[in-house]
Amino acid sequence: MNKHPKIITFDGTAGSGKGTLAKRVAEYYGISHLDTGKLYRALALVVIRNAKQDNYQADLEEMVASFNAKLFEDGDLYSEEVSKFASKIAADQKVREALFDYQQDFIKSNQSCVLDGRDTGSVIAPQADYKFYVDANSKVRAERRYAQNQDYYDQAGISVAEIEANINARDESDKNRALSPLVVPEHAVVIDNTELPLDEIVKKITDLIDSDG
């Protein structure tokens, strides 16, 4: 592991590529990575599969305790149904408290780590050593989301244009919610991930971190 990293956060809009960048940076440094957005998706999926949409608060601790690697790789995490419900429960104080504890435990158990999501640099780890905020054109983000789960969208009859509309609605919801809204964290480096090749962006990020000695 390179000597510089301690805590690195990537926040940004839906489908902006923050998760891919975070994963690549974590691999570069050989440190642990947590996709915090997957926590909300995982919880939403567990709630939906257990038909607890109307009373999920009663079993939050048990459902969070049930998280495992298989769940985090489930293809249904990126379905529109899960995406919409994840956005809904993300505005729930009790949900955020339950998942806040999960994320804090992750940070405490790793001397160096990378987190990505919508409030990692502003709420979960404001003490992070390096913060990045990732954004991209909404059409490009929709195309990436479609490619990520094409079989599902084709079977559901959902077009790229519809995905883009949902992404724009998600952006508005995330940025304007009262609880932990999506913001550019203080001291974060803003990255436009619309056109530049992934390898080039990763190199710029790691060069910045490596030069901070």
Mean pLDDT of the chain: 92
Task: Read off the pLDDT band of 1 (50, 70, 90).
Answer: very low
Give mean pLDDT, residues 184-208. Answer: 95
Q: Of 195 and 180, which is predicted with more confidence?
A: 195
* Residue that has been written with the tokens 């883009």 in this structure: 164
Complete domains list, the chain, with CATH: 7-201 (3.40.50.300)
Per-residue pLDDT reduced to its tens digit, 2-55: 567 799 999 999 889 999 999 999 999 999 999 998 999 999 999 999 999 999
pLDDT for 2 equals 54
**189-192, strands of its sheet edge to edge:** 32-35, 113-117, 7-12, 130-135, 189-192
CA 189 remoteness from chain centre: 17
| Total Cβ atoms within 10 A of residue 210 | 15
Give mean pLDDT, residues 74-89. Answer: 88
pLDDT for 38 equals 92
Give mean pLDDT, residues 113-140. Answer: 96
pLDDT of 61 over the 60 cut: yes
Nearest to 177 by CA among 55, 40, 21: 40
pLDDT for 148 equals 82
Q: Of 137 and 156, which is predicted with more confidence?
A: 137
Give mean pLDDT, residues 188-201. Answer: 95
Per-residue pLDDT reduced to its tens digit, 144-157: 889 988 888 998 89
Q: What is the DSSP letter of 6?
A: S
Three-state SS across 98-158?
A: HHHHHHHHHHHCCCCEEEEECCHHHHHCCCCCEEEEEECCHHHHHHHHHHHCHHHHHHHCC
pLDDT of 102 over the 90 cut: yes
Percent of all residues in the chain with a pLDDT value above 70, rounded to a whole number: 98
Give mean pLDDT, residues 59-76. Answer: 93
